[in-house]
């Protein structure tokens, strides 16, 4: 276990950590003590039919959801719903390479086993059912890698998911995303201080994580974001200052944690449930589903999301307009949340 103050309530706000016990993994191996970090808002009603699950994206936690998406006036309103945001395995708050200790000491750092999106969802289902009394979900939503988990939920547990809203993500990883993620992985593992994942402190990988941030800058923001200097709207004076800000976002993070998440992203594919048949897998979904791509997203372009949406019975494609691109999910643009609230509000209003 390595000490990293970034992964604490000081940076991410209040959350709880609960052990769901041992978790056998799809790719083999076990997490002996699978500890999940999560935050809740609102209360579960007597009928237990108002629970909403939020799943998290690469490098992110429940923090942005709390600060941007949840609250009075939003579709995700705690006065109406019991909202649970679960931080994915490898997030740094839930069990991760950097914080594996006690019963998990043998899987710390480079020994952390390969985790897949399905493992997250199985763990989340156990947490909700065994510890929070939630048997069914009024809505599952998440962005990017959270969208992968949303699709996994809807395919794996169709009877438990009434509505689904994958934002800026796909049910099957694309070759384009796989190539990109290889560059993210290489930016860290090729650093001479990586030492096959057995570095002593995350600070040894500061330059590696900064390089990763620049890789993200290429794809996470649209070409128009830079061409029209949209970074000025977030208080930056020039492009270089913005890139330094982006590097600062990633710098406190642990490389092994990010690698755990990157490998999960690459393995995301609901079609593994149906022998590789994506149409058959998405055809299992019974949830009322709105697929929400972002029009300027270079990771998950509308055409890729639309092709999958067409395979989901009774679903709708709702395109979100935002010049920022994929990182619009951070809620930097006020018009983004207006659109998300409209779409989620209309989805929650549907009978399911």
Q: Is 167 helix (H, G, I), strand (E, B) or coil?
A: strand
What are 50-71's pLDDT values in tens digits? Answer: 999 999 999 999 999 999 999 9
- Is the pLDDT reported for residue 1 higher than 90? no
Helix and strand element counts for the chain (H, E)? 12, 10
What are 5-22's pLDDT values in tens digits? Answer: 999 999 999 999 999 999
- Calpha distance 348→352 (Å, rounded): 9
- Is the pLDDT reported for residue 324 higher than 90? yes
- Closest-CA residue to 53 (of 25, 23, 87, 26): 87
pLDDT of 212 reads: 92
pLDDT of 239 reads: 95
- CATH code for the domain of 202: 1.10.1740
- Is the pLDDT reported for residue 325 higher than 90? yes
Mean pLDDT of 219-237: 94
Which of 259, 285, 319 finishes a domain? 259
pLDDT of 76 reads: 98
Domain span at 51: 9-173+268-349
Q: Give kind and range of the element (H or E) at residue 316.
A: strand 316-317
126 and 70 fall within a common domain? yes
What are 138-196's pLDDT values in tens digits? Answer: 999 999 999 999 999 999 999 999 999 999 999 999 999 999 999 999 999 999 999 99
169 and 182 fall within a common domain? no
46 and 145 fall within a common domain? yes
26 and 165 fall within a common domain? yes
Q: Is 139 helix (H, G, I), strand (E, B) or coil?
A: strand
- Calpha distance 85→100 (Å, rounded): 21
pTM of the full structure: 0.98
45 and 63 fall within a common domain? yes
- Report yes or no on 299 lying in a domain: yes
pLDDT of 186 reads: 97
- Is the pLDDT reported for residue 129 higher than 80? yes
pLDDT band at residue 294 using 50, 70 and 90 as cut-offs: very high
pLDDT of 352 reads: 83
Q: Please give the positions annotated as active site.
A: 144, 297, 326
- CATH code for the domain of 101: 3.40.50.1820
pLDDT of 234 reads: 83
């Amino acid at each position: 276990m390595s000490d990293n103050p970034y992964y604490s309530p000081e940076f991410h706000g209040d959350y709880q950590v609960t052990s769901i016990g041992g978790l056998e993994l799809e790719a083999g191996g076990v997490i002996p003590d699978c500890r999940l970090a999560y935050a809740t808002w609102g209360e579960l009603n007597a009928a237990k039919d108002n629970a909403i699950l939020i799943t998290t994206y690469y490098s992110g936690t429940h923090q942005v959801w709390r600060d941007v998406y949840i609250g009075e006036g939003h579709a995700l309103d705690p006065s109406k719903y019991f909202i649970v945001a679960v931080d994915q395995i490898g997030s740094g708050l839930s069990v991760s390479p950097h914080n594996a200790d006690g019963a998990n000491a043998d899987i710390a750092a480079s020994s952390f086993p390969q985790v897949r999106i399905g493992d997250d969802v199985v763990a989340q289902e156990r947490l909700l059912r065994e510890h929070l009394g939630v048997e069914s979900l009024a809505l599952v939503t998440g962005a990017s890698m959270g969208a992968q988990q949303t699709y996994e939920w809807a395919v794996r547990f169709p009877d438990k998911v009434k509505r689904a809203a994958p934002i800026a993500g796909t049910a099957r990883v694309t070759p384009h995303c796989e190539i990109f993620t290889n560059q993210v992985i290489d930016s860290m593992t090729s650093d001479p201080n990586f030492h096959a994942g057995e570095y002593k402190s995350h600070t040894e990988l500061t330059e590696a994580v900064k390089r990763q941030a620049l890789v993200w800058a290429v794809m996470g923001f649209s070409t128009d974001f830079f061409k029209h200097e949209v970074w000025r709207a977030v208080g930056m004076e020039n492009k270089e200052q913005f890139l330094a800000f982006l590097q600062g976002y990633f710098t406190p993070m642990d490389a092994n944690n990010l690698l755990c998440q990157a490998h999960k992203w690459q393995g995301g594919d609901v079609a593994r449930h149906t022998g590789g048949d994506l149409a058959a897998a998405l055809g299992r979904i019974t949830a009322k589903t709105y697929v929400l791509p972002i029009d300027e997203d270079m990771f998950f372009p509308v055409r890729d999301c639309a092709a999958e949406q067409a395979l989901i019975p009774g679903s709708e494609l709702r395109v979100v307009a935002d010049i920022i691109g994929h990182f619009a999910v951070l809620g930097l643009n006020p018009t983004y949340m207006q659109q998300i609230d409209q779409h989620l509000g209309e989805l929650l209003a549907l009978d399911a």
